[in-house]
Each structure stands twice: as C-alpha cells, then as structure tokens.
C-alpha cells in the first residue's frame, strides 16, 4: 500500500461545477496535509493546507480532513478552465529530525468549457 494514494484521473468536470479530489494516507499518526496545484511545465504551488479535522475554506477551495478515515479531500467550487492542472496531495512526515513531504501520484483535472 502506498503511503499517500490519489486517483490519477484524468478527472473531467464541466465549467461551473464542483470538482472533488480525494486522497488517502496510510500513516495514522500523520498530522499535516497539503494540496499543491501544478500546471504543466511549472512548479507545484501550495493552495491549501489543513491540520485539524473538518473543513477549511479559502475562496473557491475547501479542504476536508477526516483523520479517523484517513482521507483528505479538496473541493473546487465554480470550476474554471484555469483550474485545469495536476493536483498533488502531500502528507508531512518527521524523519531523522527533519520534516519531509510524502506526495501522492497526483490527479489530473480538466475543466471543460
């Protein structure tokens, strides 16, 4: 079992709809969770992070965390063509006294006009 799992997609959503991206993780002790957006040929951009169970909203983005079920999700409301990108879920781990991110494989999202 991979430490962080995402559906690789592609996920296709019509413009204006809600895009729902899901991620599961295996380490029950994980505390910090991140969503990065990566456009083709560009570097990952941090768009959301969440540390507590429940929902966290920022503009059109909502991150949801359920530690009991070990999943974290990202909702994008009113999807726009500019949201088309690969979304990477990441979980923080402490190893050898340093913090590192463990990434999922990424979900490719396409918003259709």
Partner 1 sequence: DTEVTQTPKHLVMGMTNKKSLKCEQHMGHRAMYWYKQKAKKPPELMFVYSYEKLSINESVPSRFSPECPNSSLLNLHLHALQPEDSALYLCASRGVGSYEQYFGPGTRLTVT
**Sole binder of partner 1 in the list 23, 34, 64, 83 (CB under 8 A):** 34
Tokens of 14: 């019509």
Distance in Å, CB of 46 to partner 1, minimum: 6
Distance in Å, CB of 78 to partner 1, minimum: 25
Phi, psi (rounded to 5 degrees) for 83: -80, -10
Query: How far is Cα 113 from Cα 105, in angstroms, rounded to an integer?
Result: 26
Query: How far is Cα 113 from Cα 21, in angstroms, rounded to an integer?
Result: 19
Number of C-beta neighbours around residue 44 at 10 A: 19
The verdict on 69 binding partner 1 (CB under 8 A) reads no
Distance in Å, CB of 41 to partner 1, minimum: 8
Q: Which residues sit at the interface with partner 1, rule CB under 8 A?
A: 32, 34, 36, 42-46, 49, 51, 88, 92, 95-101, 103-106
């Amino acid at each position: 079992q991979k430490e962080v799992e995402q559906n690789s997609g592609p996920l296709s959503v019509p413009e204006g709809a809600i895009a729902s991206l899901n991620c599961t993780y295996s380490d029950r002790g994980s505390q910090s969770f991140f969503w990065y957006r990566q456009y083709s040929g560009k570097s990952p951009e941090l768009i959301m992070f969440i540390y507590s169970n429940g929902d966290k909203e920022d503009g059109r983005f909502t991150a949801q965390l359920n530690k009991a079920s070990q999943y974290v999700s990202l909702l994008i409301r009113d999807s726009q063509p500019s949201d088309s990108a690969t979304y990477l879920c990441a979980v923080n781990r402490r190893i050898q006294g340093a913090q590192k991110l463990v990434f999922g494989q990424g979900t490719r999202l396409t918003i259709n006009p």
